[in-house]
Amino acid sequence: MLSWYRDLIKTFGVAGATLLFTNVASRRVIVILRNKFLRAQHECPCCGWQGNRFFDFIEMGYAIPNAECPQCCSHSRHRALFIWLRDVYRIDEKSGTALIFSPERSIATLWKTATGLLPVRLDIQPNRGVDLLADLQALPLKSNVANLIWCHHVLEQVQDLRAAISELHRVLSPENGELIVSVGLNGDGKTREFGFSDKSLSGIRRAFGNDFPEFLTSSGFSVTGLTHELSERQCREYAIYPEKFFLVKKK
105/170 with CB nearer Zn ion? 105
**Which of these segments, 44-52, 171-179, 212-220, 233-241, binds Zn ion (CB under 5 A)?**
44-52
Phi, then psi, of 31 in degrees rounded to 5:
-65, -40
Helical H segments across 106-222, by residue range: 108-112, 161-171, 212-217
For Zn ion, how many residues bind (rule: CB under 5 A)?
A: 8
Query: Minimum distance from CB of 250 to Zn ion (Å)?
Result: 34
Q: What is the dihedral of CA 218, 219, 223, 226, to 10 degrees?
A: -110
**Which of these segments, 31-39, 42-50, 82-90, 115-123, binds Zn ion (CB under 5 A)?**
42-50
> Interface with Zn ion includes 49 (CB under 5 A)?
yes
Which x/- pattern over 59-98 shows residues binding Zn ion (rule: CB under 5 A)?
----------x-xx-x------------------------
Label residues 194-218 b or e (16+ Cβ within 10 Å = b). Answer: eeeebbebbebbbbbeeebbebbee
65/174 with CB nearer Zn ion? 65
> Interface with Zn ion includes 47 (CB under 5 A)?
yes
Query: Minimum distance from CB of 104 to Zn ion (Å)?
Result: 11
Report yes or no: 234 and 246 within 8 Å, Cβ to Cβ. Answer: no
Query: Minimum distance from CB of 113 to Zn ion (Å)?
Result: 17
87/93 with CB nearer Zn ion? 87
Say how far apart CA 133 and CA 143 lie, in whole Å. 17
Query: Minimum distance from CB of 75 to Zn ion (Å)?
Result: 10
108/118 with CB nearer Zn ion? 108
Report yes or no: 17 and 23 within 8 Å, Cβ to Cβ. Answer: no
Say how far apart CA 230 and CA 240 lie, in whole Å. 9
74/219 with CB nearer Zn ion? 74
> Interface with Zn ion includes 114 (CB under 5 A)?
no
Query: Minimum distance from CB of 165 to Zn ion (Å)?
Result: 31
74/147 with CB nearer Zn ion? 74
69/165 with CB nearer Zn ion? 69
Question: Smallest Cα–Cα separation from 95: which of 116, 125, 120, 68?
Answer: 116
Contacts of 7 (CB under 8 A, 6+ apart): none
Distances (CA, A) of 150 to 40, 81, 120, 219, 228: 32, 11, 10, 18, 15
| Strand 117-123 versus strand 96-101 pairing type | parallel
Residues engaged in binding Zn ion (CB under 5 A): 44, 46-47, 49, 69, 71-72, 74
